[in-house]
Structure 1
Amino acid sequence: MFHFPFKYGISLGVFLGATTLTTYLTGHEPMPNPAMQAMSDTTNRPEENRFKKTVLFNDLNEPMELAVAPDGRVFFVERAGKFYMYDPGQKKTRLLHDFPVKAVDKYLNGMLGMTIDPNFRKNHFLYFFYTIQDKDQTRQRIARFRVNDDSTLDLASEKSIIEFPIDLEVSAHTGGSLAWDAHGNLFISTGDNTVPFESNGHAPIDSRSGRLTFDAQRSAGNPNDLRGKILRIHVADDGSYTIPEGNLFPPGTSGTRPEIYVMGCRNPYRISVDPATSIVYWGEIGPDAGTDGVQGPRGYDEFNQARKAGNYGWPYFVGDNKPYFQYDFATKSVGALFDPNAPVNNSPNNTGMKNLPPTQKPMVWYPYNKSDEFPALGVGGRCAMGGPVYHFDPKLASTTKLPAYYDKALFVYDWMRNWVYAIRLDDNQNYQSMEPFMPTTGDFRRPVDMEIGPDGSVYMLEYGSVYGIDNDDARLVKVDFNGGNRAPVAQVTASDTLGSAPLTVAFKGDQSRDFDKGDQLRYEWRFDGKTVGSTVANPSYTFRKNGIYKTILKVSDQLGNASLDTMTIRVGNTLPQVAISVNQNSTFFPATQTPLAYSVSVKDKEDKVIDKKNVKVVLNYIPKVSSEPMMGHQQLTASFNLGKSLIAGSDCKACHQVAAKSVGPAFVDVAKKYRDDKTATARLANKVIVGGGGVWGEHAMSAHPQLSREDAAEMIKYVLSLGTEPTENRLPQQGNIVLKEHVGKAQEGRYMLTASYTDKGEANATTRSKLALMKSDVLMLRPTKVLGSEADELNNMTRQGKRLGNIHNQSYFVLKNIDLKGIDQLTYRYSSKDRDATVEVHTDSPTGPVISTLAYTATGGWNKFVELGTSIQNPGGKHNLYFVFVKADTPNRDLFSLDWLQFGTKTAATAGGREPSTGN
């Protein structure tokens, strides 16, 4: 849930990629398509399936920045100091050096960036941006090294190009990106090195004594400081540098540093320079505020463009030059707004000139919430990164280069939102439009750097799912474009995947597909993973010996392009059969303490005797679940895990883990802290929405204004539920249970009786292990009162909070898997303004047998609810119930609003009269 990280510090065919897979299967790369190479079409968007992402290396820890050499070698670094090279010839990655950098804790500095010299073919120079500790001073250093012919790093060749001190206690805003323009000038991005906390997510301009690191005016707003800037220098052969013409402050200007090209940056974490125009682009990671406040506007991230040197406003402005107020942190008094045309830095911590250049507006800006100007960028956490500009070269002999469609497109990406966009500029380099790049197949895992290689392919470092730890999915990837014939996509399905020998399996491969019309597909089945056993699309095969078989289908087209799909067949055991039976209704629990008589039957084909120790029967009571569709087992599970699902779809997992600390606290620690706090849900839900910090250390949680209060509350409920260690009371296979947990409480809970059996397994000679299998059955009991919003399916009606409305003639809702044993009465709580109609209950379809009919009359107002009962028949067994609204004559729209309905008995129900009730 943090706006992190750097503001503070399949199938085999899909996996390998088209070109790599073709080489793997056929032994040669696909021939270039001359027509595609010469094409220069920037109007027809290529199909997304023409792009393939290949993982080149996936054993990384906090990868930072990469550079691709002219010969295709990929150099990249990790924050802790490791420097790697990927060799495309050998398809291997080597660790070249482990720099002893100052990488503190999980967030602070270290090895931040790298690049290669524009004349790398001749001089073999590499440049690194890293943190050093020299006696009592910590500094950022940009140094140059030479790579030897054998790809080893010549450590003796180190030349320190430029250094500047930083405040190490600030775990924030490092910058660290390096790039070159067409004239051989080196650009260096630096963060403002300022504590962003205690400013309520607004401008950190606290100039009180002793608050140096809380004042970005000392760095980003200071023309005499190299932090919070993009620097531009020209490096000489001997390692010294000169100042190119056109920087923001001419050499000799009092109170300034001549290296500054761009000032007023918060954290320009990734920059790029257009090799054709030398225009600088970068992502600006903005502040945390989710809403406008006393100090000024909410936070925005930005994509910026600098055609010439300029001031981009931080810490006085954000977004499209939205000004902050001059704010006194001592008295909390608010002064005038800062003037973007004539900003003044009056901080006592400013060592440079006070009158600053006028500020420049960004190209794109967006908050946590939906952007009015750029709605396509979505909502959620923000971490903007500026990527490369692509230039299509029709003369480049590459089968994998991006197509001409992306000529002159600027690629940008967001670490938190996991997307990449291509920004289109007009002939004057002004913003024109944007579109997502590989939105459905990219599967980007927090992109942290992106470059175009000499082959025209995209190279990317993906940081991995969680900030500050060794992610399993941190990796180096490559995206290739296939402009010619595409490999088919193999897909295997089977009639069964496990059983006793001999096991006959009917395989199907005819669901494999080819994106190129007219291609003739050929099939090769290797049932044992080695030998071709069939060449038909849908074969059958009998496995006669126990074992685990990796069955592989290879599908080829007439040009030899192919892909693979694999299915595992386990022979030697079959699933047990487990079933729960009860003596009462198997959908609803009664309101009284009624014993539940149950029995669990277990059968297993291979086990002659059922081992009772392996039979597990457990009853759990879930006190409350969300009012979402939940009548069937699957629906209820999804509803109970609503908060978990919302968290999984949000940016929370970037900074939180369930049981381990990341940049934020572990969820279980949060749950334990607030275990006995009855007000925690409301307070923490509000904090999720508005942001805040101070409880778990210095790192603040960013705002999530896009979340509704209900969704935020569900997320917190899930987190808090993790603090209670589950108590598991094992039950016998049959018995009687007194259901009492719900008595005296609002009937919102569920009883879940789970039975499972793990069999003894069948010995497998191949793996020398037993193929033990487990099967379970679940009985879910819920209250007899069902809220309207808990319907499983709706047709031509809508959920309105906990109710159903907008109900018309032939509208219906569905409750699934309902047992009506012992039930003969339905009671509806409803309102209807002025329409009399009928509600029919059908089994299994809207036109199935009718088992209940309610002829109701209007109540006289939508807020006037009454309760009305009617009889219902038990058809036996479980059925899906369709509640169909019928009014043939007009007007027949807006018939009904359902608050709830209750399943019961006539003896327990009140007489079928009307009991008016008004309001909610």
Structure 2
Amino acid sequence: MVSSLFNYVSLGSALLGLLAPLGSLVEKPDQPLRQSATVAIDTANRPEENRFTKTILSNDLNEPMELAVAPDGRVFFVERHGKFYMYDPVQKKTRLLHDFPVKAVEKYLNGLLGMTIDPNFKQNHYLYFFYTIQDNNQTKQRIARFKINDDSTLDLASEKPIIEFPIDLEVSAHTGGSMTWDTHGNLFISTGDNTVPFESSGFSPTDWRQDRLTFDAARSAGNPNDLRGKILRIHVESDGSYTIPEGNLFPKGTTGTRPEIYVMGCRNPYRISVDPATSIVYWGEIGPDSGVDGPQGPRGYDEFNQAKKPGNYGWPFFVGDSKPYHQYDFATKAVGNLFDPQTPVNNSPNNTGAKQLPPTTKAMVWYPYNKSDEFPELGVGGRCAMGGPVYHYNAALQSKTKMPAYYDRALFMYDWMRNWVFAVRLDDQQNYQYMERFMPTRGDFRRPVDMEIGPEGSFYMLEYGSVYGIDNEDARLVRIDFNPGNRAPIAQITAKDTIGLTPLKVTFTNTSYDYDKDQLRYQWRFEGNTVASTEATPTYTFKKNGIYKAVLTVTDPAGQKATDTLTIKVGNTTPTVAIATTDNSTFFFPNQTPLNYSVAVSDREDKAIDKKNLKIALTYIPKVAGNEQQMGHQQISASYNLGKSLIAGSDCKACHQVAAKSVGPSFTDIAKRYQGDKTATAKLANKIITGGGGVWGEHAMSAHPQLSRDETTEMVKYIFSLGVQPTNNQLPQQGSLTLKDHLGNDQSSRYILTASYLDKGSAGGAQPKLALMKSDALVLRPTKLMVTEADSLYKISKQGRRLNSINDQSYFILKAIDLKGIDQLTYHYASKDQSATIEVRTDSPTGPVISTVSTTATGDNRKYADVTAPIQNSGGKHDLYFVFVKPDGKNLLALEWIAFQRKGDPIPEEKPQPGR
């Protein structure tokens, strides 16, 4: 979810669009040029990514917004809540210079939004701030100038308000707030459309009904007589007044227009930049939320825009490459004609300016939630486009950290949601050629919110941090340097035995390396600061109990150093804990007899096991609402971990936390709301893809058509699992458990028997105590197993609840299955006109066959039948390979579930599912 401040993309973007982890960000720097290729880029000599170093200058910020770097290297930056900071590169410290009493920070998401320094800062020491004020009961955005003193204190008495414009305070979306300069000393200011994006289904908010003023972007962005939804260009005079430069969009004195406007038709131009060589304006435009085209018009697109001259960029009547919306009556839902990009007309009753608008200019780059046909390298997921600077290489600049000549004249643009930065290549006419990812593996960008070039040619970036609207620990100011020369080595050590009794002999494995392939020197310290070895892979014996830090320092011929540290614990060994059962250790049965178990515990140092430190508990995890599928059978966390990893790899945490509220509800609140709703998993999995709103307030869930139904289902299942509270109970070390919680429940629950032991610590009571813990778990699952939860598939595809596209020699694997007490398997399958054989083999697709069954045609691919076959118990746990056999057979069948049965057990009942 992009914040209300940026875009108000809501629960959908958080539950949500995936980033690179779903394989979406494919770098294609050498693709054919889309326009005239008159500027040659030597892609063969692209700098190695390990030559770029990212350094954190200031950490643990609270909603950082915009930065400016002074000629002397001082970095000024602001936070939305009003704080103005300076990073001092000499002292390497950050100082709070002033706390602005900005208006409406908490509820309405305005505040201190932007800042810049004067082009003649060396001489006049002027700073400019964009912030929200309350003036005579009217809320306004103000751009004001201040002077900073020689001691880096802000002269508050020097404030000169330059330009102000009123806003509708009840709208907390689309603020803009960025400022920058051209080479002529003109100040550019970005402003958002200040319009509620809800109740327009993710399309154009042009609601012209009475009393719907704030739902109409035609009153602001589409209004030539309004400063909102624009990029303004003014010239600030020495007394703090401003004049209008020649060449803005509307000549001064034109009826129904404002002369300050350079660009109109913007939704939320959140970050802007001006190329100092050409004065061309660049910005990121945060677009609307719809993930699909609809009756009102095109789906949402974010944009990277370029203004070589003043222009109209179309919002709210056009989006992307000037795709038109339909005229739409929000009262009757009647769809009218398309707006004309050549002669757009604004007939809104809320338009206070000229109705006839300039022709539209299409975006330079535009991309939706799902994969873009024109710009596939941008991937899929949530969107929040930000416009960065153009870099110009200066060969004469004496700097050891400046960006290389390779990036000369490249435009750097970035996305707050997708956490990437791209370098855009332009031809000699400043037309788009292509783009390539910047630092794709080493950037570790944490929602970049501003990016500037310092006087030494390094990049400075503000990273907002992982979650919107809170004080993120990873909100920070960073600097990115380039190293054209010798690189420091990388120190890496491991050891097999890091815990044990005295004397503990440890052989260290050294995997250190040097990018420049230099010969390295080694220094090892095991006890204190004394160098104990200079070998590459030494062996050392620790003779006293204690906790030691084994430190390796590697040095290259130029003196560059790196260190790595490994902790060694001497004086104790880890206990052993093992749960055993005489019953089946994989399944529980429909009419389960008691589970007999025992826990074996041993510890080399403890003369007697301290029963108080042995914890044994049984937890029952019931059916997750709406989840008819089984979870991975190797452990309870198989499906849990899949959904968790999908969410971790997405932008969900931009708006959601596990337990605390952010912009969107917490995952645990979602789980509690839908507890007991058997249709919830299917509904929410679909809603993530299609979008929607109204459950958690006005925030709309944006569509995510780039996600598959399987992916969103796993994400919802993980979220729902957070609402399950484990049972706290203490069981004896051995005994018999009656499993009855599953009776009457659907077959997707689990029993988890856990045992853990914390030992007494170091041998002989030595200090430090060095207490160590070991645990074991026994997970029992139902005997009915949904085959889509198989551990591995070979030449098989998933289709909803079933496996499909099964051919001769296709197979799937179920790992670590105990067949004790299992006499037969029942398969639930469908096949239009094919017969086949299913072989169950152990430990490989060519292993011993322990079961065989024949399937026949059922007459339709949706008509299911059950077939049962005996199975042989090979003893112990084995990986089971289910191999499909029919020479040259294609599309043999679809398989939904398998039941592992004892003789006399009924075939599990298949309950009707919604939509089937």
Q: Does the TM-score normalized on the shorter chain lie above 0.5? A: yes
Q: What SS is found at the alignment partner of 1:376?
A: helix
> 1:800 deviation in Å?
4.5
Q: Equivalents in 2 of 1:702, 1:525: separation in Å? A: 55
- Counterparts of 1:211-610 in structure 2 under 5 Å? 211-509=212-510, 511-517=511-517, 519-528=518-527, 530-610=529-609
Shift of 1:657: 1.2
Letter in 2 for 1:738: T
Aligned to 1:916: none
Contact 2:853 2:868 in 1 (8 A): no
Partners of 1:351 and 1:893 lie apart in 2 by 67
Establish whether residue 631 from structure 1 lines up as the match of residue 630 from structure 2: no
The amino acid across from 2:733 in the alignment is: Q
Q: Once the 2 structures are TM-superposed, how far is the Cα of residue 885 of structure 1 from its aligned partner?
A: 5.3
CA 1:851 to 1:351, structure 2 compared with 1: closer, same or farther past 3 Å? closer
**Which has the larger displacement, 395-404 or 495-504?**
495-504
Shift of 1:413: 0.8
- What are the superposed Cα offsets for residues 169-211 of structure 1, whole Å, 9 maximum, x if unpaired? 2111110101111211110001111111222222222233322
Residues 14-53 of structure 1 correspond to what in structure 2 (within 5 A)?
Answer: 41=42, 43-53=44-54
On the 8 A contact 1:62/1:474 being kept in 2, the answer is yes
Measure the CA separation in 2 of the matches of 1:630 and 1:714: 12
1:788 counterpart letter in structure 2? V
2:837 and 2:215 mapped to 1: Cα distance?
68
CA distance in 2, matches of 1:788, 1:691: 29
Secondary structure, aligned partner of 1:210: coil
Deviation at 1:65? 0.6
The reply on whether 1:112 has 2:92 as its aligned counterpart is no
Matched, 1:696 2:696: yes
User: Whole-Å Cα distance in 1 between the matches of residues 596 and 326 of structure 2?
Assistant: 69
Task: Say if 1:765 and 1:594 are closer, same or farther in 2 by CA, change over 3 A.
Answer: closer
- Alpha-carbon distance, 1:664 to partner: 1.4
The answer to whether the Cα contact below 8 Å between 1:547 and 1:765 also exists between their aligned partners in 2 is no
**Is the 2:621–2:724 Cα contact (8 Å) retained in structure 1?**
no
Q: Where does residue 747 of structure 1 map in the other structure?
A: 747
The Cα of 1:140 is off from its aligned counterpart by: 1.3
CA separation of 1:131/1:833 partners in 2, compared to 1, >3 Å: closer, same or farther? closer
1:75-114 map, 5 Å: 75-105=76-106, 108-114=109-115
TM-score normalised over the length of structure 2: 0.89
1:42-79 superposed Cα distances (whole Å, 9 cap, x missing partner): 65322222222111111211000111112222111111
Paired positions, count: 875
Partner secondary structure for residue 772 of structure 1: coil
Kindly provide the amino acid, as one letter, of the partner of residue 854 in structure 1. T
Secondary structure in 1 matching 2:601 = strand
* C-alpha contact (below 8 Å) 2:761/2:771 kept by paired residues: yes
Alignment partner of 2:512: what SS? Answer: coil
Flag the 1:646–1:453 CA change in 2: closer, same or farther, 3 A: same
Aligned counterparts, 1:857-896, within 5 A: 859=857, 863=861, 869-884=868-883, 891=888
User: How far did 1:808 drift?
Assistant: 5.2
Which moves more between the two structures, 96-105 or 680-689? 680-689
1:773 is matched with 772
Work out the CA distance in 2 between the residues paired with 1:794 and 1:198: 43
| Runs of 5+ consecutive residues of structure 1 not aligned to the other structure | 10-38, 911-919
- Relative distance call for 1:694 and 1:798 in structure 2 (3 A) is closer
Say whether the 8 Å CA contact 1:4–1:382 is kept in structure 2.
no
Q: How far apart are 1:830 and its partner, in Å? A: 5.6
CA distance in 2, matches of 1:657, 1:305: 36
Give the corresponding residue for 2:32. none
Q: 1:765 to 1:348 in 2, by over 3 A?
A: farther
Q: Which residue of 2 aligns with 1:816?
A: 815
Distance 1:826 1:669, change over 3 A: closer
Counterpart contact for 2:670–2:719, Cα < 8 Å: yes
**Quick one: percent identity of the two aligned structures?**
73
Summarize the Cα distance change of 1:243–1:694 in structure 2 as closer, same or farther, 3 Å threshold: same
Whole-Å separation in 1 of the counterparts to 2:384 and 2:873: 57
CA gap of 1:162–1:774, structure 2 versus 1, over 3 A, is: same
CA distance in 1: counterparts of 2:113 and 2:448, whole angstroms: 15
**CA contact 1:7–1:174 (8 Å) conserved in 2:** no
> 1:169 aligned to 2:170?
yes
The answer as to whether partners of 2:577 and 2:600 remain within 8 angstroms in 1 is yes
Counterpart-to-counterpart distance in 2, 1:872 and 1:687: 42
SS in 2 for 1:493: strand
The aligned counterpart of 1:188 is 189
Compared CA separation, residues 661 and 769, structure 1 to 2 (3 A):
farther
User: 1:539 Cα deviation (Å)?
Assistant: 1.5
User: 1:750 is aligned with what amino acid?
Assistant: R
Distance 1:143 1:249 in 2: 24
Distance 2:777 2:666 in 1: 30
Report how far residue 650 of structure 1 moved: 2.2
Give the Cα–Cα distance (whole angstroms) in 1 for the partners of residues 687 and 832 of structure 2. 40
- In structure 2, relative to structure 1, the CA distance for the partners of 1:292 and 1:728 (3 Å cut) is same
Distance 1:492 1:430, change over 3 A: same
Correspondence 1:139 to 2:137: no
1:683 & 1:219 partners in 2: Cα distance? 37
1:40/1:860 CA distance change after superposition, 3 Å = closer
1:653 partnered with 2:669: no
Q: Is the 8 A contact 1:492 1:512 kept in 2?
A: yes
| 2:612 aligned counterpart, secondary structure | helix
TM-superposed deviation, 1:884: 4.6
Does the 8 Å CA contact 1:113/1:128 hold for their aligned counterparts?
Answer: yes
1:71-108 Cα distance to aligned partner (Å, 9 max, x none): 22211111111111112222221222222222421651
Does residue 198 (structure 1) correspond to residue 199 (structure 2)? The answer is: yes
Unpaired runs of 5+ in structure 2?
Answer: 10-39, 908-915
Give the TM-score, by structure 1 length: 0.89
1:730 equivalenced with 2:710 (yes/no)? no
Give a deviation string over 1:873-917, Cα, whole Å, max 9, x none: 433322223345567xx646666655444444567699xxxxxxx
The aligned residue for residue 23 of structure 2 is none
Residue 456 of structure 1, CA deviation: 1.6
Q: Using the alignment, how far apart are the partners of 1:785 and 1:469 within structure 2?
A: 44
The answer for the alignment partner of 2:209 in structure 1 is 208
